A and B are shown apart, each in its own frame.
Chain A
């Protein structure tokens, strides 16, 4: 019995990563002219994946910061490249978010995706392999492979199944994120050889990289390369211009996955790689990153306010929300980082739900312009209720998930950067303005456009995929401890490691050294 449990726990994550691939193979065999079957099979595969991920969350031991369910095997042994996967408190909920949202996204495509259903589902499942892999990889080489693997399916989802300017948006999405990440590849290679110089061992293992000290000058360049890749993905202001295009033109389910999970790969990258590997550079550049985060918060909110297209509004609100996450992570303390992680989950749930809600309206009216609607609450009472809850959660009303995340972030950030936090707080107010104003224009008042009179309310399928999201909104809002408890140890360990490594790297340096001297002064 113990043998079986051991076998399961060492291979569970591998199964979790590659299970959707089995679904891809199955889809290849199915006939393309039966979309119903294709959809149902994909739904069952993603539900199966979710069920497989549940034991990870349940059996996860929140008391330790170590990687759990570790599975490793040599891959290219002469170069120390390993297949090494594991989960800790930082990645746990992101993996769960992925497996949780996939069936929802699939369910939302039943009426929306009608052409080339087979290929669509195949790309969705490959996307899931990449996303789960990114969060579970503990080897830099493996991480990079999954990181890039995500691009191609998403590129197809936008380019083939998107709306008007889909080709432009798809290429822009691909090129921006790819250009950002190739420099990270060079930094990974440089780090790999640095590790060899220091230890005499070739390895791309992240845990080994954590153990070495990297000279500060090197840290600066490597942090810059990693941060650029992640900043494009998050996206941080001013690297965000691809996001609104990609969101507007992506199909609804693509937008959901893009906003809820792909963007989190950027913030997760900061927390998992850029900050702990290069703590001195990360800490020294904190003012820059935090300022950009706050600029993003306010800029995203202001631009969201003037949008005529509901989807574009939600897209810009993402820029603003992700600014909060970055502010929290770069507080370098327990509250800030936990708030940041929680807010990643919250944003996934709430913004995912918002995209679904906009998508439902789009399916009925084939427009997303706010001016086309008005007074919908009378026609669509159930829809209105759901929309209101999600809106309030996105604003961060106490009792919903958004409040807990943003509160923790502010708490953490206030300790480190007081002034910026004050500015960031205005973002919360602006969020209330743009969200409630949109809600008011779309839902309240008289029905101004008679095309809206006969719209059907939510059907059972739509309720089925929105309901789990509503449950999560209140669960995290009322009892966040379920989630925070499991991440405490890992986050605490990360905070301690960053600080200890920073002190170690800086010991022996002259007091009052300017940053310019630290990173650029080659003289003497």
Chain B
């Protein structure tokens, strides 16, 4: 066998196609080095450096424009869909970073590793969003997961943090196993791991009866379902979310979900027209179960972090509605919702972080009592985020749900839309419960003083709030962007 000649042009194109990821990885590695020489009291520089890396990466995405660039023999592609998800992921990462310095200092966990782990995980997510080969997606998934396991257990002095990390790690390892096994089976049945080829094969009637192929698709779905915490693969979520440092929880809830959905959308959306009915039914049931179980469980929580964890499960169900409905509208609605979700959920976690003051017992719902009129700005922001999570106009959460359920109705799944809206009516109860505590129940004794936010922290909160309002009132341009992104996949 002759040695494969080095194709310099292809290599350059490949490197160009992963430019935004490269920038993030480079930042992560430089931070590790800077951290070694930096004195303890100057660690905040690292946060700034990470933000610069993110900004460069975002600029690269902007400069690369909407053109499709595929690289490494079709293992990754830079296209509209990838760009949209990278923006969502990088936005979530930037918001997290803005909150992180203050938080880490309060908790006494201010370490340079935190930032580089966060950035490495982000780069994994970006690869996952751009992967067009199941192997790339798997590698992206692992690159995102392993730093996250560490970050969940970052508070090594707290039992709940360690417990959450261990649980997440064990179940996550199983999920990765399922995913890899699914990829292997699909490869055995079809001889390829490339998504475009697999996607066209999904239409093939011969494969419909091939148990190996079906088992492969099933295992793959289990792996993804675990990462986006669809019911019944959600068991780890409440514990990991509760145990993790709250900044990490905020990051996980928005960014990990976006990355895993990116891969799911790449895999499923082009095929849904001719999707095997069995597969469709499975997704339908998963979506209904996820919405319903997530919301009903959230009703019973007295710990705000845990409640938001269940709410995040329910939201995965809503986003799946868009995917089940399929079509351009369905995909676009899912994309839009993931972006909106990043803003409103990270925003909500941010405010809660300030009010709670310390991990674990600080997140008891009773701590919110009396905050409302004592700290009107904080309480107002949290109310806005909760109202948006509940899907009440004129916030972005409403527009997002409107498009998700529109997609369902358009494609004939009226039942799914009805279940969805009833679920959002249920969810109103627990979101409003926080509002009740803030505004309507007087505190027992003194109202605890929230942590004074740093400027960066306030900036993150205000930016999220502005995004929630702007996307709720003039969603037009972002919706159009989401539409172009989905079209770039389907064309």
Interchain CA distance A171-B424 in the complex, whole Å: 15
**Interface SS majority for chain B:** helix
Chain B residues with Cβ below 8 Å from A159 are 436, 439-440
Which residues from 147 to 191 on chain A have a C-beta closer than 8 Å to any C-beta of chain B? 148-149, 151-152, 155-156, 159-160, 166-167, 170-171, 174-175, 178-179, 182-183, 185-186, 189-190
Once the chains bind, are A160 and B392 in contact (CB under 8 Å)? Answer: no
> Which stretch from B19-27, B340-348, B404-412 is at the chain A interface?
B404-412
B475 located at the interface, meaning its Cβ lies under 8 Å from any Cβ of chain A in the complex? yes
Once the chains bind, are B429 and A171 in contact (CB under 8 Å)? Answer: yes
**Distance between B370 CB and nearest chain A CB, rounded to angstroms:** 12
Once the chains bind, are A175 and B440 in contact (CB under 8 Å)? Answer: no
B373 located at the interface, meaning its Cβ lies under 8 Å from any Cβ of chain A in the complex? yes
Interchain CA distance A141-B398 in the complex, whole Å: 11
Select from chain A the residue with minimum beta-carbon distance to B476.
A76
A444 located at the interface, meaning its Cβ lies under 8 Å from any Cβ of chain B in the complex? no
B239 located at the interface, meaning its Cβ lies under 8 Å from any Cβ of chain A in the complex? no
**Distance between A151 CB and nearest chain B CB, rounded to angstroms:** 7
Once the chains bind, are A185 and B421 in contact (CB under 8 Å)? Answer: yes
A465 located at the interface, meaning its Cβ lies under 8 Å from any Cβ of chain B in the complex? no
Once the chains bind, are A186 and B421 in contact (CB under 8 Å)? Answer: yes
Chain A residues with Cβ below 8 Å from B376 are 119
Once the chains bind, are A185 and B405 in contact (CB under 8 Å)? Answer: yes
Q: Which residue in B394, B417, B436, B476 is a CB contact (below 8 Å) of A167? A: B436
Once the chains bind, are B425 and A182 in contact (CB under 8 Å)? Answer: yes
Chain A residues with Cβ below 8 Å from B197 are none
Once the chains bind, are A78 and B476 in contact (CB under 8 Å)? Answer: yes
Q: Which residue in A116, A141, A182 is a CB contact (below 8 Å) of B373? A: A116
B187 located at the interface, meaning its Cβ lies under 8 Å from any Cβ of chain A in the complex? no
Once the chains bind, are A155 and B432 in contact (CB under 8 Å)? Answer: yes
A422 located at the interface, meaning its Cβ lies under 8 Å from any Cβ of chain B in the complex? no
Select from chain B the residue with minimum beta-carbon distance to A158.
B440
Chain B residues with Cβ below 8 Å from A144 are 393
Q: Which residue in A75, A78, A155 is a CB contact (below 8 Å) of B483? A: A78
Given A145-B393, A148-B392, A182-B422, the answer on whether A193 and B409 have CB atoms closer than 8 Å is: yes
Select from chain A the residue with minimum beta-carbon distance to B421.
A182
Chain A residues with Cβ below 8 Å from B418 are 183, 186
Q: Which residue in B398, B402, B429, B436 is a CB contact (below 8 Å) of A175? A: B429
Interchain CA distance A490-B72 in the complex, whole Å: 68
Chain A residues with Cβ below 8 Å from B137 are none
Which residues from 268 to 299 on chain B have a C-beta closer than 8 Å to any C-beta of chain A? none
Contact with B along A53-87 (1 / 0, CB 8 A): 00000000000000000000001111000000000
B480 located at the interface, meaning its Cβ lies under 8 Å from any Cβ of chain A in the complex? yes
Contact with A along B380-417 (1 / 0, CB 8 A): 00000001000011100010001001100110001001
Select from chain A the residue with minimum beta-carbon distance to B401.
A185
Interchain CA distance A192-B405 in the complex, whole Å: 12
Once the chains bind, are A76 and B406 in contact (CB under 8 Å)? Answer: no
For the complex, count residues of B whose C-beta is within 8 A of A: 33
For the complex, count residues of A whose C-beta is within 8 A of B: 33
Once the chains bind, are A167 and B414 in contact (CB under 8 Å)? Answer: no
Interchain CA distance A155-B387 in the complex, whole Å: 12
B470 located at the interface, meaning its Cβ lies under 8 Å from any Cβ of chain A in the complex? no
Contact with A along B415-439 (1 / 0, CB 8 A): 0011001101100110010001001
Interchain CA distance A149-B398 in the complex, whole Å: 11
Once the chains bind, are B422 and A190 in contact (CB under 8 Å)? Answer: no
Interchain CA distance A519-B402 in the complex, whole Å: 28
Chain B residues with Cβ below 8 Å from A151 are 392
B441 located at the interface, meaning its Cβ lies under 8 Å from any Cβ of chain A in the complex? yes
Once the chains bind, are B479 and A78 in contact (CB under 8 Å)? Answer: yes
Chain A residues with Cβ below 8 Å from B474 are 75
Once the chains bind, are A178 and B428 in contact (CB under 8 Å)? Answer: yes
Chain B residues with Cβ below 8 Å from A156 are 439
**Distance between A121 CB and nearest chain B CB, rounded to angstroms:** 14
Chain A residues with Cβ below 8 Å from B480 are 78
Once the chains bind, are B439 and A186 in contact (CB under 8 Å)? Answer: no
Q: Which residue in B406, B425, B439 is a CB contact (below 8 Å) of A160? A: B439
Once the chains bind, are A186 and B414 in contact (CB under 8 Å)? Answer: yes
Select from chain A the residue with minimum beta-carbon distance to B439.
A160
Once the chains bind, are A152 and B392 in contact (CB under 8 Å)? Answer: yes
Interchain CA distance A115-B422 in the complex, whole Å: 36
Given A149-B394, A185-B405, the answer on whether A193 and B410 have CB atoms closer than 8 Å is: yes
Once the chains bind, are B425 and A189 in contact (CB under 8 Å)? Answer: no
Given A76-B476, A186-B405, the answer on whether A152 and B436 have CB atoms closer than 8 Å is: no
15 A-B pairs with CB atoms under 8 Å apart are A75-B476, A76-B476, A78-B479, A148-B392, A148-B393, A159-B436, A160-B372, A160-B440, A174-B428, A182-B422, A182-B424, A183-B418, A183-B422, A189-B402, A192-B406
Give chain B's interface residues, CB within 8 Å of chain A: 372-373, 376, 387, 392-394, 398, 402, 405-406, 409-410, 414, 417-418, 421-422, 424-425, 428-429, 432, 436, 439-441, 474-476, 479-480, 483
Give chain A's interface residues, CB within 8 Å of chain B: 75-78, 116, 119, 141, 144-145, 148-149, 151-152, 155-156, 159-160, 166-167, 170-171, 174-175, 178-179, 182-183, 185-186, 189-190, 192-193
6 more CB-based (< 8 A) A-B contacts, given A159-B439, A166-B440, A182-B422? A75-B474, A116-B373, A148-B392, A148-B393, A178-B425, A189-B410
